[in-house]
Amino acid sequence: MKKGSNRRGFLVSAGLSAAITGCKQGGKPATTAEDEGPNRLGKPVSEYGQRSQFEKSKRHLPDTKTPEAASTRTPLQDSYGILTPAALHFERHHSGVPALDPAQHQLLVHGLVDRPLIFRLEDLKRLPSVSRVHFVECSGNGRSEWSPKGAPDAQRSHGLASCSEWTGVPLSLLLAEAGVQAAAKWLLAEGGDACKMSRSIPLQKANDDILVAYGQNGEAIRPEQGYPLRLVVPGWEGNINVKWLRRIKLVDGPVMTKDETSKYTDLMPDGKARIFTFIVDAKSVITYPSGGQKLTAKGFHEISGLAWSGRGKIERVEISTDGGKTWVNAKLEEPRHRMAFTRFRLPWTWDGSETILVSRCTDESGYVQPDRDQLIAARGKNSDYHNNATKPWLVKADGSVTNA
């Protein structure tokens, strides 16, 4: 067998060879710089890089009269790998994005401590730092999926989740410097935005893996993400990851702030409300093929998507190409980080018939992502947050993909 014949056979079976060798099939070959005439000098070097003018992926903007208290959504369907570009990381604000001077900004640690302390950004950067990959997900992500109609694409159904490499100082180090008193069991984290967004956090979590972060994907955190300082609380709902962090107060119990009582609770069938839900349950979504996209030909396609869990690593992703009748294991890309996006892939040959694609994931705790009916059976129909149900996509005979 000649070298390259296996590849040729794969291309033929996948229906791709005509597109790749178009000149032999009567198609027009791709143009090159030489075809355009004399070689031309390109764009000169710049101080800060920009993406290509041909890339159009962008965050989804809400239709609202109060953009200062709204959100934008990450175009997950356009993503590669597991990291979200900082410029495409979703936003959620309660009173707009403050402009904070890092030279003037300070972080106060006080309350039930032996030594109240004030840290400037330059103080924090002198301390031992760590970099970790973690997702952040708004608890309202998937809110549309409580309705059978659902959202039309992955951006609007799951785009309130993003994943970055965060750099900063472990909160436990700052607490040790302040000397936490025995009576302290919780802390109150407060932001420097106009509404003073604040959340209560158990001290056990603070001493575990919370970061006071100043870096995101290799540079300073973007203003929309909390510049110059924010909390990164791995695996916990997004609003606890307080942005524009200005104050941490050690207290003996939860403070019951407006942000943790008027919002982010789930009304249960018995009339009681879940509060302090905290941990993000395992979730996955197929990003290709997904709503708004179209398969242009029968044959080979690679199903791809993202999975994540607040309980640790994703251990398994199953994909069904027949609406949940049968399931097969997808390949999980390495490395897999705890409380981070995991990219999954599955080779698939589409025969041109209408079908439904859906994924479900299992995390290292053994928790299996439920479907919508299972979630409603456990939670009822009055919930508004924390929807982690599976997301089915309908592939029609013409190749178009919509919500199932």
Tokens of 115: 């030594």
Using one digit for the tens of pLDDT, what is the confidence trace for 226-252? 999 999 999 999 999 999 999 999 999
Is the pLDDT reported for residue 15 higher than 70?
Answer: no
Question: Where are the strands (E) in 94-210, listed by range?
Answer: 106-111, 117-120, 130-137, 161-170, 186-191, 198-202
Q: Which residues contact 188 (CB under 8 A, 6 or more apart)?
A: 111, 198, 199, 200, 201, 247, 248, 249, 251, 255, 257
Which residue in the block uniquely carries the two structure tokens 């994931």?
A: 361
Distances, alpha carbon 224 to alpha carbons 33, 87, 173, in Å: 40, 9, 26
Q: Give the model's pLDDT for residue 382.
A: 87
Using one digit for the tens of pLDDT, what is the confidence trace for 301-311? 999 999 999 99
More confident residue, 7 or 9: 9
Q: Which residues contact 79 (CB under 8 A, 6 or more apart)?
A: 88, 287, 306
Q: Which of 6-15, 142-151, 264-273 has the lowest mean pLDDT?
A: 6-15
Tokens of 163: 């994943």
Q: Give the model's pLDDT for residue 1.
A: 46
Tell me the pLDDT of the chain averaged across its residues: 92
Q: Give the model's pLDDT for residue 207.
A: 97
Surface-to-core class of residue 347, CB atoms within 10 Å of its CB (0-12 exposed, 13-18 middle, 19+ buried)? exposed
Is the pLDDT reported for residue 9 higher than 70?
Answer: no
Q: HEC string of 300-318?
A: EEEEEEEEECCCCCEEEEE
Give residue 348's Cα distance to chain centre: 25
**Sheet of strand 245-251: strand arrangement:** 117-120, 106-111, 245-251, 186-191, 198-202
Compute the distance between CA of residue 115 and CA of residue 14 in angstroms, rounded to an integer: 67
Using one digit for the tens of pLDDT, what is the confidence trace for 344-398? 999 999 999 999 999 999 999 999 999 999 999 999 988 889 999 999 999 999 9
Range 26-53 burial, b when 16+ CB lie within 10 A, else e: eeeeeeeeeeeeeeeeeeeeeeeeeeee
Surface-to-core class of residue 210, CB atoms within 10 Å of its CB (0-12 exposed, 13-18 middle, 19+ buried)? buried
Which residue in the block uniquely carries the two structure tokens 């200005």?
A: 246
Using one digit for the tens of pLDDT, what is the confidence trace for 102-154? 999 999 999 999 999 999 999 999 999 999 999 999 999 999 999 888 999 99
**364 with 315: CB under 8 angstroms?**
yes
Pairing of strands 91-92, 106-111: unpaired
Q: Which residues contact 330 (CB under 8 A, 6 or more apart)?
A: 303, 317, 318, 319, 344, 345, 346, 359
More confident residue, 78 or 35: 78
Compute the distance between CA of residue 79 and CA of residue 306 in angstroms, rounded to an integer: 10
| SS3 call for 199 | strand
**Sheet of strand 283-288: strand arrangement:** 283-288, 299-308, 342-350, 331-332
Q: How sure is the predictor about 12, in pLDDT bands with cuts at 50, 70 and 90?
A: low
Using one digit for the tens of pLDDT, what is the confidence trace for 49-89? 999 999 999 999 999 989 999 999 999 999 999 999 999 99
Q: Give the model's pLDDT for residue 148.
A: 86
Which residue in the block uniquely carries the two structure tokens 């400037």?
A: 120
**189 with 210: CB under 8 angstroms?**
no
Closest-CA residue to 245 (of 210, 212, 209): 212
Is the pLDDT reported for residue 33 higher than 70?
Answer: no
More confident residue, 31 or 198: 198
Bond prior to 335 in cis (omega within 30° of 0): yes
Is the pLDDT reported for residue 2 higher than 50?
Answer: no
**156 with 89: CB under 8 angstroms?**
no
Compute the distance between CA of residue 12 and CA of residue 297 in angstroms, rounded to an integer: 13
Q: Which residues contact 338 (CB under 8 A, 6 or more apart)?
A: 234, 235, 312, 313, 364
Closest-CA residue to 304 (of 393, 375, 397): 393
Tokens of 22: 């178009």
Which residue in the block uniquely carries the two structure tokens 């291309």?
A: 11
Pairing of strands 161-170, 130-137: antiparallel
Q: How sure is the predictor about 4, in pLDDT bands with cuts at 50, 70 and 90?
A: very low
